[in-house]
Amino acid sequence: MSKQIAGVLPVVLMPYTDSGALDEEDFLSQADHIFESGCQGLVVGQMSELLRLTHDERLRVAELCAKSVQGRGISVMSTGAETAEAAVGYSRHAEAAGVDALLVMHPATLPLGDDEMVEYYGRIVEAVSVPIIVHHAKSLARIPLSIGAQAQLLRQYGEDRVMFKPEAQPTPPRVSQLRDATDGRARIFEGDGGMMLLDCHRRGLAGTIPATETAEIVGVLWRLLEAGDRAAAERIGHPLSYLMCHMMNSTDYYLSIAKRLLKERGIVKNDHIRGPSAHVLDSESWSEASRVYTRLLNLSKELSR
């Protein structure tokens, strides 16, 4: 492993032009914001509307993911697919483009058992040389990937090749179960936008994967937790948990708020969400989210001094 995959790795929210095409300029703008916020890297993940991209767009985004880092940190590209063959193809392309690691979600349309899941992930690990993060997406897994299957992958390939983003609920105890089943070897990333970071961090994490709009907020929270300053961490962690509870009603609800926050701050030019979404953000939801977000930005500045 050439780079240490760890720390705060926000997900880039896919930016679009007025015509609905990928906005490469705003992708790079988000990358700049992430690194200027002190984060260790960036991720293209499911919240990047990955499943709404065309095949050619997915290939191009992998290239942007690698390009956007510019030696400042870690690039992680999501390469999961509905078949191992497709996932291997996306993974090999992303590695060739220069990403540092892969975030690999399981198939979402078939109820795969543990043996089939282990085979799927094993084929991907063996096809590339960069590390993979096994992504268990709670809303998309027909059958949750068991702790035993995840431990088997680690035993087979080692902690430098296989890491984990376990989102099966309830997340905190599953972090502990995976930690214990691997004798503390598993490198685990929290993936609920920082909502459960106060609890999950004490159970043993290699990092956290929020999204661009909370990059500096989660960055400060992570540094406080790493420093052992629990009291200060709770000051920012509790309102962050509330904001994430508010936003995480659905993917499009989250994106409608997060992209507008980025647009209001001038980080992106457009808050377009690719269809078939028909969600319209109501003014009262926006008012509440914006109020809490502004408070969190001010807290992050105060606590980073």
Q: What is the mean pLDDT of residues 223-247?
A: 97
* Assigned token pair, 16: 């679009």
* Assigned token pair, 234: 């709770």
Q: Residue 99: how many CA atoms within 13 Å on its side-chain side? A: 30
CATH among 3.40.1180.10, 3.20.20.70, 3.30.230.10, 3.30.1360.170 for 7-229: 3.20.20.70
> In whole numbers, what is the pLDDT of the chain averaged over residues?
95
List binding-site positions for pyruvate. Answer: 209
Q: Summarize pLDDT for 268-300 with one digit per residue, the tens.
A: 999 999 988 778 899 999 999 999 999 999 999
Rounded CA-CA distance 92/87 in Å is: 9
Amino acid at 264: E
Helix (H, G, I), strand (E, B) or coil at 44: strand
Q: How confident is the model at residue 2 (pLDDT cuts 50, 70, 90)?
A: low
Q: How confident is the model at residue 139 (pLDDT cuts 50, 70, 90)?
A: low
List binding-site positions. Answer: 209
